[in-house]
Amino acid sequence: MRTNRIRIPRWFDRHLHLRGEDLLETVLPCTLRQKPIGAVVMPNLLDPITSFEKAMAYRKKINALIPEDSDFSPCMTLYLTDETKPEDVVTGFKSGLWQAVKLYMADKNGQGGTTGSHQAVRDLHGRYKVFEVMEKHGIPLLGHFEAVEKEVDEFDREVVSMARDLQPLLRSFPGLNVVVEHVTDGRMAEFVAKVDHPIFATVTAHHLMINRNSMFWEGMNPLHYCKPVPKREVHRKKVREYVTSGNPRFGAGTDSAPHDEKFKTRCCGCAAGIFTAEIAVEMYTTAFDEDDGMEYFGAFLSENFLGIYGMKVSSELMTVERTPMQIPKKIGNIRVFNGGATLPWKLVT
């Protein structure tokens, strides 16, 4: 039977970029309009969140922009570096300052695959003392598992990192909660779904909708360029199959990544990232509806593995209706994913 209205618990964005300064003021209201109980805030600013002081200052900036009548909870994360001390990770977690540690990787020259990765981990094995205390204290590791070396094929970076980095990590720390961020490769999705380990994965709305052709259709399209890059259609279908068929190891994480239009649309040095915060719920709803998976929609958006972030499923409900909604082209100077197109669903309360 065709569903025209669905009510589910208010959701939780497990992967969100709020940036800093002017961008923060522009994009945070977009997320709040989507009715989440909170979001996992990524720490890879131009000056990454690598210390107590930076984390406290950033959280203060975010909280200052949240209306007093809002219960939105920004779940902070610590940016892991080669100098991060195990005891500092534990202290910040126990104090409630951050709820997880974010892993980005860089090559030996400090080159990485995303914003702020110049301070990322170059020696993963050298961080094993940190992972040891994280396993002991139940601190989640949120991993951007992509091989960053120049010689690795762009479309194989995720699966290369899976074999080289992720699998040895899981063998060494069988009790460590690991979230593989923004899965795009069907081989990684299959591994997450089947491995005997407390491992989970976030999936973006845009990776459910586009494949790598979208970056090149009718000429180079920087608005569909992100990290990880969209993969072949077979991988998009495989990831989407696990998501919309109700596998509980997968959950919503938008990876909504705002960039000023002048940096996003330039033909050389285009910024990697897709902004979806304004339309995330509607995009996810559309994907589940198209795949006849609406019975699993609420769990994916609002329930799956929330406990590892210290969150509980909301007792409040939100409503999404089958009502056409035109996507705004821009929010401030930020281009919105598929701006101008129409989605068949709309978040109404």
pLDDT in tens, 234-286: 999 999 999 999 999 999 999 999 999 999 998 888 999 999 999 999 999 99
Domains and CATH numbers, the chain: 5-347 (3.20.20.140)
How many angstroms separate the Cα of 175 from the Cα of each of 41, 286, 303, 312? 24, 35, 21, 21
Torsion angles phi and psi, residue 256, rounded to 5 = -60, 120
- Measured between its terminal Cα atoms, the distance across the chain in Å is 23
The helix/strand/coil state of 8 is: strand
pLDDT of residue 113: 64
pLDDT of residue 116: 63
Q: What is the rounded distance in angstroms from the CA atom of residue 242 to the CA atom of residue 207?
A: 13
pLDDT of residue 55: 98
Q: Which residues are catalytic?
A: 255
Q: Are strands 73-75 and 38-41 parallel, antiparallel or unpaired?
A: parallel
Which parts of the chain have pLDDT scores under 50? none
pLDDT of residue 253: 98
Please, is 44 exposed, middle or buried when counting C-beta atoms within 10 Å of its C-beta (0-12, 13-18, 19+)?
buried
pLDDT of residue 91: 98
Listed in sequence order, the residues at least 6 apart from 88 whose beta carbon sits closer than 8 Å to its beta carbon are: 51, 52
pLDDT of residue 115: 65
pLDDT digits (tens, 9 = 90+) for 163-208: 999 999 999 999 999 999 999 999 999 999 999 998 999 999 999 9
